[in-house]
Copies of this chain bind each other. A is one copy, B any other.
């Protein structure tokens, strides 16, 4: 569990949560258990995705994948334990009100479950050797990646006591940056630097994955990245608080090189 949690990574989900708390001028330690839970769930999904039966990846974040070090059985169990412990962390955190704990468990278990991340992962796998439209692919990405990013913002807004209208704007912001994130991932797999990425490029093509680049080509993919980044930024105009940190994160997602 620790090996994969400490293997680095961009910590984007915790950053999004803390960015919301910072924007609303909240004590950021109120987000600690939820931030850790988000990263545990993200990390478990990577450990399971990397397994030989799934993507069969040997490297992640520049280091050997969990099962390459500890074996498949331990990797499966480490993922299961991280997922389960995520809900224990939130539900036993007495810095949150019982209402905040319960709502965060409810939101997070939906976003990570069969209607969210795991469902998206399954749909993605089933679509692997199928022709899909860009719309079908976006629906998969929304579940596979977008829901967990959007729920990070949504949980932050709930902890901050933001108004319903603002919670919804932050959720839409999350969906747009989720798609931007995935588009950027597809671009990096074609144009990225293996050293910076810590993983080989070109694996999507090798695995016959449907990507923005394979469906739209490079130029239109870059246009779409701009569109979603712009749409995300315009959602932030709905907020009653300064949003420069969230703006910076949206721009970082579009311009990152790893």
Contact = CB atoms under 8 A, between A and B. Distances in A.
Interface of A: 1, 44-45, 48, 51, 53-54, 71-74, 76-77, 79-81, 83-85, 87-88, 91-92, 98-99, 101-102, 105-106, 109-110, 112-114, 118-119, 121-122, 125
Contacts of A99: 98
Contacts of A105: 87, 91, 102, 105
Contact of A85 (B77, B81, B98, B114): B114
18 contacts: A1-B114, A48-B76, A48-B80, A53-B72, A54-B76, A76-B76, A77-B122, A81-B118, A83-B84, A84-B112, A85-B114, A88-B109, A91-B105, A91-B106, A98-B98, A98-B102, A102-B102, A105-B105
A148 B87 CA distance: 16
B88 A110 contact: yes
Given A53-B71, A98-B102, A105-B105, A88 B113 contact: yes
Contact of A87 (B45, B71, B72, B109): B109
Contacts of A1: 114
Given A1-B114, A74-B125, A81-B113, 18 more contacts: A44-B80, A48-B76, A48-B77, A53-B71, A53-B72, A77-B122, A79-B80, A84-B109, A84-B112, A84-B113, A85-B113, A87-B87, A87-B105, A88-B106, A91-B105, A91-B109, A92-B110, A102-B102
What 9 A-B pairs come out closest when comparing CB atoms?
A: A53-B72, A88-B109, A84-B113, A91-B106, A81-B114, A87-B109, A81-B118, A91-B105, A85-B113
